[in-house]
Amino acid sequence: MKTFCGRANTTTGALDWVEESEEYDYHQEIARSCYADMLHDHDRNEKYCQGIQAAVARVKARGEDVIVLDIGTGTGLLSMMAVSAGADVCYAVEVFKPMADAALSIVEKNGFSDKIKIINKHSTDVTVGPGGDMQTKANVLITELFDTELIGEGALPSYEHAHHNLVQEGCEAVPHRATVYAQLVESELLWNWARLQPVEVEGARLVPPPEVSRCAGSHSVCDIQLSQVSPRSFSPLGPVCPMFSVAFSEPVSSAFRSHSYQFAAQSGGRAQVVLSWWDLEMDPSGSIVCSMAPSWMYPEPKTAPWRDHWMQSVYFLPVDGRVTEGEELSLTVCRDDYSLWYSVRSHRQRDPQTVGPPSRPSCTCRAHLVWNRPRFGELNDRWRTESYVGALRSVLREDSVCLGISDGSLLPVFAHMLGAQKVYSLENSRMSKEVLEQLLEANSMTGGVELLKSRPEQLTSEDLEGRQISVLMGEPYFTTSLLPWHSLYFWYCRTALTGLLRPDVTVLPCSATLHALAVEFQDLWRIRAPCGTCEGFDVTPMDEMVQRSLEFQESREAEPHPLWEYPCRALTQSAAAMTFDFTQCVPENPVISEGSLPLTRIGRCHGVVLWMEYQLTEDVSVSAGLVQPVGDQGECEWSRHRKQGVYFLRSPWESSGDGRAAVSYSFTFEPSSGDIKMDFSVDPQ
């Protein structure tokens, strides 16, 4: 049996469905999973262990046998904790078969197979009674069903079903309770991820369409490592509010609920963003707490535990209303069975239409479907806009005929504002074309940019009214791009359009360079690090499964990560490993580049970061990776708008910093696929 997997095709800009063996999805999911991150999360494990020990002790004190139900057991770690604490039997439920197999191996390896039964089902399919999956209902319920939003993985329906069907009335639950916290803030940085802002170009003002300004935006949560957003980047308008709690030892409802918290505004400003996180109380007394609060909420930020499986949430309000200091406000959170959304209202409001819980926000302008949040931030980046406008200004002439190739780009609009004679823009997406039409209409530029719904290879001279292109421009940005070099689709477009370009055409950017830098990660290494033992339990079967999954892939590959959220130190100088000349066509034969990165700083080298830099003109360049030179101690500042590629070494390398050891690299650009094959090794010399 075969399965089909989506892969970005650099040569076509499309998402191709590639036929793979039926094991491919499983192996990919295991290889890319963050189970290692969870197993390395000592704070989480310790708090769960303490809560489980306390719950088992309370049941034993009542003279009862301890029957545990562990929903979403994963590696079986929590079940083993329960048996070690004295549980008589544990039913460990895991729906994902490869993980259920791994849990079975781990349980057997640790000698718990006589008391732990692995059930490879969704918990809602588990049966109780003679001949069923469970002999009797459990009196201890252990779960780890949470995501960054707490309820996004279906925790509430699972709890609801378990209380009705799988556990005894009055059961002990670990965790015992969860509490969601929120804080209302003003933040230009974060708000730029939600709305298109006005842009100044040559003294003219480009304003967003009214449809975009009025739109409530996307309802999906923005989950990030909030610890990496400096408190200087936002102004709190109110206190941290405990919005609602869920008691897991009692029957849980997945029905719609709304909760409000009243407070007086601590300062004046624009109510734009809600920052949110949650805590788990592992016992009824609340003495064992596992907190998801960002590090700047801790008295000593460096003591905050790092975790990537649970982060923090950013919610964008439907409108950025102004509040005054001392004003009485009501912050409301609504939840259904899988998601949350927020609204804020002043007590002075008397509009009867605002009475009742707010409806879930949804995009009506299409812009939030065309542009994701990092893309909004990129479009609103004033420095970046000035770089592109400056580059365009230097190449445009009164008779310039321009063609833009990027998804939902403003460059064609800028070219028109700068006085180009004629501007075209290729738009693959109907929705993107409609959003740009709204923008042009809102700024009285209808007809100023001709939007063509065509692929580059299908474009004809008739489409261009017999004109030849004198300026071919792109950012480049494409929604199908996952890794930095996927933007080389621009190069393939330029090649396909050769017959429509003037001999002296200006291509902007004129080239792109793939950069490489060997780094030591502060924490991100945990997602790929073997565990061996975890809290005293042997979990090597999971390590072995991940290793087999990596070997199952055709080759080691880089992964996309937004490194502004994951601090790292440079252990080498960055190297321009490959350069792609956009003034020429894509070559027919593979291009190979080899070199090395001497390790000149002391540290543990976890891998290599890869990114693209674009040379717009001879004097102007923009980076999708490092945005500042590496600091004296190896500090790195990464672009917030694009993900960088990360290639993890199979084993970390301890660098002495004397430059003798080096990370050797080999890159092969395959023109037929647009992919870059890579290999890295450490040469100790």
Catalytic residue positions, numbered: 144, 153
Q: Within a 10 A sphere around the Cβ of 204, how many other Cβ atoms?
A: 10
Distance CA 609, CA 103 (A): 33
DSSP 620: -
286: left (phi over 0), alpha (psi -120 to 50) or beta: left
Place of tokens 């931030």: 377
CB 329 within 8 A of CB 262: yes
Tokens of 600: 């000149």
- SS3 state at 665: strand
CB burial of residue 20 (10 Å; 0-12, 13-18, 19+): middle
Whether residue 226 contacts residue 183, with contact meaning beta carbons closer than 8 Å, is answered with no
Q: Which residues contact 38 (CB under 8 A, 6 or more apart)?
A: 44, 74, 307, 309
**CA–CA distance, 151 with 533 (Å, rounded to integer):** 30
Give every CB contact of residue 189 below 8 A, 6+ residues apart in sequence.
Answer: 229, 233, 234
AA letter at 383: W
Separation in Å, CA 562 to CA 336, 374, 380, 492: 29, 10, 18, 26
350: tokens are 């008397």
Q: Encode burial over 117-130: b for 16+ CB neighbours within 10 A, e otherwise.
A: bbbbebbbebebee
**If you write DSSP's letter for every residue of 506-524 in order, what string do you get?**
EEES-EEEEEEEEEEESSG
CA 176 to each of CA 198, 287, 336, 465, 586: distance values in angstroms, whole numbers, following the listed order = 48, 11, 21, 69, 60
Report which of 33, 122, 17, 143 is spatially closest to residue 79, judged by C-alpha positions.
143
Strands (E), 65-105: 67-71, 89-93
Alpha carbon of residue 177 to chain centroid = 27
